[in-house]
């Protein structure tokens, strides 16, 4: 089978006949499938345009002045369209199509210029209608994927909410940006604008199952447009397919029998590989290695006088290569301390294996030589069919900020994955930097420049699967504000926090917050108060009881401009959003609740659904850390909690919602909400005082909603409660007649 070329270009309008014919002539023989966006086509002109093209095509039309999408086919190209979804607003076409016996969902999109995440959510649902596992989406997305890599001369990031939504859709549909995948460190752009601005707005997204078929992807040369074409070359015969490529039928996920069968198969495989102590990706079952660990830790002093005696003792009970390597690793990490005096002073330290064994103190080279003497390898071992790294230096501990060595045994550096190891070490052997790349043990190797610029995450982040997809480089240039995304794929982070430090080490946390977007995704927002250089540190843990959180990563922030009027964030140690036990407390869901809210007029209200009744309260915190319960009120019903707040000035506020956890009589944090208030409340007075019975009787106060009532005034009191039958107001009893109780009284 031949190579298929799919090209996509924003043509900036084809209403003008000469330009349209020129564009058609340019691309009709260049690509097998041509995707044109921003065509300015109308339904009345589609037939004429298709005649000018000369073969088959599909149009999504809007007006002669804006929007429009087309998918056009070369006259010699064979295909079959099974179904189609055509947008009436001229923004997308989705085809269920067979190409060279390969069935895919092909989508062409023209993303909105404004920040509209709903558009991309809609695209996801439209694509999901088709059961094809293979998807290709192309067009002008009007959103850059990586602000640092995909823009030039930009002052701020465009459409951040749409960007976050696209990342979410990519995750849910298993999509990848194929050009960036094949060109991870290239800076090229598909759009050129005024003031030398450039960005990569046009790109292909494909499912990972098609990646092997992509021969190449490229950004072409612009023609009669400010956008360059983007293209991919596919060759479905590049893999042996036999009778056909297997494609998963999504409908099977609704079949209970199928699900149970797969679960059983997975369990069988896991049991088989756990028995061998190694899973597919060499994750170690450390419980199975405990006997070997205990043997190494109980090494008698009598065998430590000789390398050979020690090696014989450590290897004696081992039943496999893995156990032998493990025994050496555990003994070295627990018996040799790091010689920090030699490391920092520059004086010589013992590095020969025999000398290290006698002194039990060395630097990196000494560790390596001892390992080599024990099992004839430097820092790479071949075990169970996999090449893996070991690092006994940092496996034994670390150097603290005072330069002292802290013993702290770590499993992370035992058979470390190559993609993790490269963040800490760049192999360089025999003065041959190119030849040394093979020792990275990676399919796609990295240059020294790549690694030096890349973000460094700690062993905790890598072990827990914490990634930072939006900013892959250590240095982040900030024009007024930056949003850095973080995602924990493998483990739930029970606690996370951020600290921002100036170049003089001053804590600047009034300029940074962390927002929890959903169960596993977070956004760190940085708004430096002053131009300059900062250090951003991110901390987290999967252990709720751990008070001191380990560091996950560290960014270098270069602030080039600041907001005209800086408004500080409130003091807060942690993230904004629901607690990890939010649903266990009785709340229905946290997915629809945004941790960041904007209040326009000083009067704030947020209602959350609940599955049961429980006691809760709330407090407001201002930017100076002052705390108040007078300007916040909580009302409850059997199925909801409503938080009302009143802000007496403009700026950021923190609202903390507390609730009882089942089985506990004490209140603890259920959710923290960050609110930007744009205008002070017209009535800057506290709410009426409420009591425990207010929530118990499901009281809803409608009027008055101010605690301070002018004297000698007629007051209309309005409230509702499904429980209360009588009210006592100013010494007088009022019986309930309707669901809403209204009564006037004279304030003395």
Q: Is the pLDDT of residue 347 over 60?
A: no
User: Highest-confidence range of 102-116, 270-284, 305-319, by mean pLDDT?
Assistant: 102-116
What pLDDT does residue 240 have?
39
Query: What pLDDT, in 10s, does the model give residues 382-392?
Result: 777 777 888 87
For residue 34, list its beta bridge partners. 7, 72
Tokens representing residue 642 in the block: 């409503």
**Which ranges of 524-567 does DSSP label H, i.e. alpha helix?**
none
Instruction: Return residue ranges of the chain for CATH 3.60.10.10.
Output: 4-244
Tokens representing residue 454 in the block: 């890349």
What pLDDT does residue 335 have?
79
Q: Looking up tokens 């987290």, which residue turns up?
A: 540
Number of alpha carbons in the 13 Å side-chain half-sphere of residue 748: 3
Query: What pLDDT, in 10s, does the model give residues 120-178?
Result: 999 999 999 898 889 999 999 999 998 888 998 888 888 999 999 999 999 889 899 99
Domain 4-244: CATH class, spelled out: alpha beta
Domain 290-416: CATH class, spelled out: alpha beta
What pLDDT does residue 274 have?
41
User: Highest-confidence range of 187-201, 377-391, 716-730, by mean pLDDT?
Assistant: 187-201
Question: What is the mean predicted confidence (pLDDT) over 614-638?
Answer: 87
| CA distances (Å), origin 726, targets 703, 723, 742 | 17, 9, 12
Q: What's the rounded Cα separation, in Å, for the pair 131 and 136?
A: 13
Q: Which burial class, exposed, middle or buried, applies to 438 when counting CB atoms under 10 A from its CB (0-12, 13-18, 19+)?
A: exposed
What's the gap between Cα 299 and its chain centre? Answer: 45
Query: What pLDDT, in 10s, does the model give residues 646-669?
Result: 999 999 999 999 998 776 778 888
CATH topology of domain 577-708: Immunoglobulin-like (2.60.40)
Coil, helix or strand at residue 315:
helix
pLDDT bin (cut points 50, 70, 90) of residue 336 is low
Question: What is the mean predicted confidence (pLDDT) over 16-22?
Answer: 93
Query: What pLDDT, in 10s, does the model give residues 466-499?
Result: 999 899 889 999 999 999 999 987 788 888 999 9
Q: What's the rounded Cα separation, in Å, for the pair 124 and 21?
A: 33
Question: What is the mean predicted confidence (pLDDT) over 339-366?
Answer: 44
pLDDT bin (cut points 50, 70, 90) of residue 253 is low
Instruction: Return residue ranges of the chain for CATH 3.10.620.
Output: 290-416
pLDDT bin (cut points 50, 70, 90) of residue 252 is low
Instruction: For residue 433, give the DSSP letter.
Output: T
Q: Is the CB of residue 219 less than 8 Å from the CB of residue 199?
A: no
Write down the number of H helices and E strands in the chain. Answer: 18, 44
| β-strands 740-747, 640-646 pairing | unpaired
Q: What's the rounded Cα separation, in Å, for the pair 462 and 456?
A: 10
Q: How many CB atoms lie within 10 A of CB 487?
A: 18
What pLDDT does residue 45 have?
92
Which is more confident, 741 or 558?
A: 558
Q: What's the rounded Cα separation, in Å, for the pair 658 and 632?
A: 12
CA angle, 165 as apex, 134 and 205 as ends, to 5°? 30
Q: How many CB atoms lie within 10 A of CB 281?
A: 7
What pLDDT does residue 284 have?
67
User: At 264, which helix (H) or strand (E)?
Assistant: helix 256-275
Tokens representing residue 615 in the block: 């006691």
pLDDT bin (cut points 50, 70, 90) of residue 354 is very low
Q: What's the rounded Cα separation, in Å, for the pair 675 and 655?
A: 8
| β-strands 732-735, 740-747 pairing | unpaired
What pLDDT does residue 283 have?
58
The phi and psi torsions of 137 (rounded to 5 degrees) equal -125, 130
Q: Is the pLDDT of residue 182 over 80?
A: yes
Q: Is the CB of residue 620 less than 8 Å from the CB of residue 627?
A: yes
Is it true that the peptide bond before 242 is cis, omega within 30 degrees of 0?
no
Q: Is the CB of residue 464 less than 8 Å from the CB of residue 502?
A: no
Q: Is the CB of residue 379 less than 8 Å from the CB of residue 391?
A: yes
What pLDDT does residue 726 have?
85
Q: Is the CB of residue 80 less than 8 Å from the CB of residue 61?
A: no
Q: What's the rounded Cα separation, in Å, for the pair 340 and 403?
A: 7
Count of residues in the chain: 748
Coil, helix or strand at residue 419:
helix
Whether the model pTM is above 0.85: no
**Considering only CA atoms, which of 626, 600, 623, 596 is closest in space to residue 481?**
596
Question: What is the mean predicted confidence (pLDDT) over 584-595?
Answer: 80
Question: What is the mean predicted confidence (pLDDT) over 367-373?
Answer: 42
Q: Is the CB of residue 110 less than 8 Å from the CB of residue 90?
A: yes
Strand order from edge to edge, sheet including 521-526: 466-467, 482-488, 521-526, 512-516
Question: CA dihedral defined by 561, 564, 565, 566, rounded to 10 degrees?
Answer: -10
What pLDDT does residue 389 have?
83
**Considering only CA atoms, which of 550, 433, 452 is closest in space to residue 494?**
550
Q: What mean pLDDT is reported for the chain?
A: 83
Q: Looking up tokens 């996509």, which residue turns up?
A: 8
Instruction: Return residue ranges of the chain for CATH 2.60.40.10.
Output: 459-561, 577-708
Which is more confident, 186 or 151?
A: 151
**Considering only CA atoms, which of 351, 350, 354 is closest in space to residue 308?**
354
Instruction: Give one DSSP letter per residue of 694-740, joined into a string.
Output: HHHTT-EEEE---S---SSEEEEEEEE-SS--EEEETTEEEE--SSE
Instruction: For residue 303, give the DSSP letter.
Output: G
For residue 645, list its beta bridge partners. 604, 632
Coil, helix or strand at residue 311:
helix
pLDDT bin (cut points 50, 70, 90) of residue 717 is confident
**Considering only CA atoms, which of 708, 714, 713, 721 is closest in space to residue 744?**
714
Sign of CA dihedral 436, 437, 440, 442: negative
User: At 172, which helix (H) or strand (E)?
Assistant: helix 160-173
- CATH no. of 459-561: 2.60.40.10
| β-strands 632-636, 361-362 pairing | unpaired
Q: Is the CB of residue 413 less than 8 Å from the CB of residue 390?
A: yes
Sign of CA dihedral 310, 313, 317, 319: positive
Q: Is the pLDDT of residue 367 over 50?
A: no
């Amino acid at each position: 089978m031949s190579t298929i070329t799919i090209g996509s270009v924003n043509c900036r309008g084809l209403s003008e006949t000469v330009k349209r014919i020129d564009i058609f002539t340019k691309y009709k023989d260049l690509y097998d499938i041509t995707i044109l966006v921003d065509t300015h086509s109308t339904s009345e002109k589609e037939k004429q345009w298709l005649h000018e093209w000369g073969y088959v095509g599909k149009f999504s039309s809007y007006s002669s002045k804006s929007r429009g999408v087309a998918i056009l086919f070369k006259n010699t190209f064979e295909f079959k369209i099974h179904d189609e979804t055509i947008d009436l607003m001229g923004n997308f076409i989705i085809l269920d199509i067979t190409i060279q016996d390969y069935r895919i969902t092909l989508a062409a999109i023209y993303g909105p210029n404004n920040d509209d995440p709903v558009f991309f959510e809609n695209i996801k649902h439209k694509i999901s209608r088709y059961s094809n596992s293979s998807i290709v989406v192309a067009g002008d997305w009007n959103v850059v994927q990586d602000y640092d890599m995909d823009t030039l001369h930009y002052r701020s990031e465009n459409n951040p909410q749409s960007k976050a939504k696209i990342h979410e859709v990519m995750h849910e549909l298993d999509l990848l940006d194929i050009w960036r995948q094949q060109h991870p460190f290239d800076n090229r752009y598909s759009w050129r604008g005024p003031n030398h601005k450039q960005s990569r707005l046009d790109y292909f997204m494909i499912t990972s199952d098609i990646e092997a078929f992509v021969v190449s992807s490229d950004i072409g040369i612009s023609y009669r447009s400010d956008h360059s074409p983007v293209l991919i070359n596919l060759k479905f015969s590049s893999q042996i397919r036999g009778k056909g490529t297997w494609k998963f039928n999504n409908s099977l996920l609704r079949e209970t029998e199928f699900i149970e069968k797969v679960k059983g198969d997975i369990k069988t495989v896991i049991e088989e590989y756990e028995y061998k102590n190694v899973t597919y990706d060499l994750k170690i079952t450390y419980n199975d290695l405990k006997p070997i660990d205990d043997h190494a830790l109980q090494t008698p002093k009598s065998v430590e006088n000789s390398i050979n005696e020690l090696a014989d003792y450590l290897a004696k009970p081992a039943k496999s290569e893995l156990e032998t390597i493990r025994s050496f690793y555990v003994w070295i990490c627990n018996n040799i301390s790091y010689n920090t005096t030699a490391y920092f002073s520059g004086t010589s330290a013992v590095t020969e294996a025999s000398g290290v064994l006698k002194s039990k103190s060395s630097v990196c080279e000494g560790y390596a030589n001892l390992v080599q003497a024990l099992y004839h390898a430097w820092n790479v071992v071949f075990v169970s069919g996999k090449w893996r790294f070991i690092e006994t230096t940092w496996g034994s501990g670390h150097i603290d900020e005072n330069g002292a060595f802290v013993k702290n045994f770590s499993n992370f550096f035992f058979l470390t994955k190559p993609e993790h190891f490269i963040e800490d070490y760049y192999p360089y052997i025999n003065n041959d930097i190119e030849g040394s790349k093979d020792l990275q043990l990676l399919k796609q190797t990295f240059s020294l420049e790549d690694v030096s610029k890349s973000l460094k995450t700690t062993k905790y982040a890598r072990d827990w699967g914490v990634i930072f997809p939006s900013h892959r480089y250590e240095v982040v240039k900030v024009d007024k504000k930056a949003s850095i995304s973080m995602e924990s794929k493998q483990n739930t982070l029970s606690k996370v926090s951020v600290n921002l430090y100036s170049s003089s080490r001053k804590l600047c946390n009034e300029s940074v917050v962390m927002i929890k977007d959903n169960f596993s995704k977070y956004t760190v927002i940085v708004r430096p108060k002053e131009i300059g250089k900062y250090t951003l540190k991110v901390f987290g843990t999967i252990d709720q009881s751990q008070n001191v959180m380990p560091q996950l990563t560290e960014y270098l922030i270069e602030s080039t401009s600041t907001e005209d009027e800086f408004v500080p964030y409130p003091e807060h140690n942690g993230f904004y959003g629901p607690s990890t036990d939010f649903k266990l407390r009785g709340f229905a869901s946290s997915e629809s609740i945004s941790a960041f809210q904007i209040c326009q007029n000083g009067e704030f209200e947020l209602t959350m659904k609940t599955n049961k009744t429980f006691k809760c309260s709330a407090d407001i915190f201002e930017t100076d850390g002052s705390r108040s319960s007078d300007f916040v009120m909580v009302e409850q019903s059997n199925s909801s909690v409503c938080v009302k707040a009143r802000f007496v000035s403009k700026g950021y506020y923190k609202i903390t919602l507390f609730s009882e956890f089942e089985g506990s009589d004490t209140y603890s944090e259920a959710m923290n909400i960050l609110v930007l208030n744009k205008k002070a409340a017209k009535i800057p007075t506290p709410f009426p005082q409420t009591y425990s019975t207010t929530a118990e009787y499901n009281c809803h106060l409608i009027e008055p909603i101010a605690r301070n009532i002018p004297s000698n005034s007629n007051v209309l009191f309005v409230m509702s409660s499904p429980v209360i039958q009588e009210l006592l107001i100013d010494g007088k009893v009022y019986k309930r007649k309707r669901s809403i109780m209204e009564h006037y009284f004279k304030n003395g």
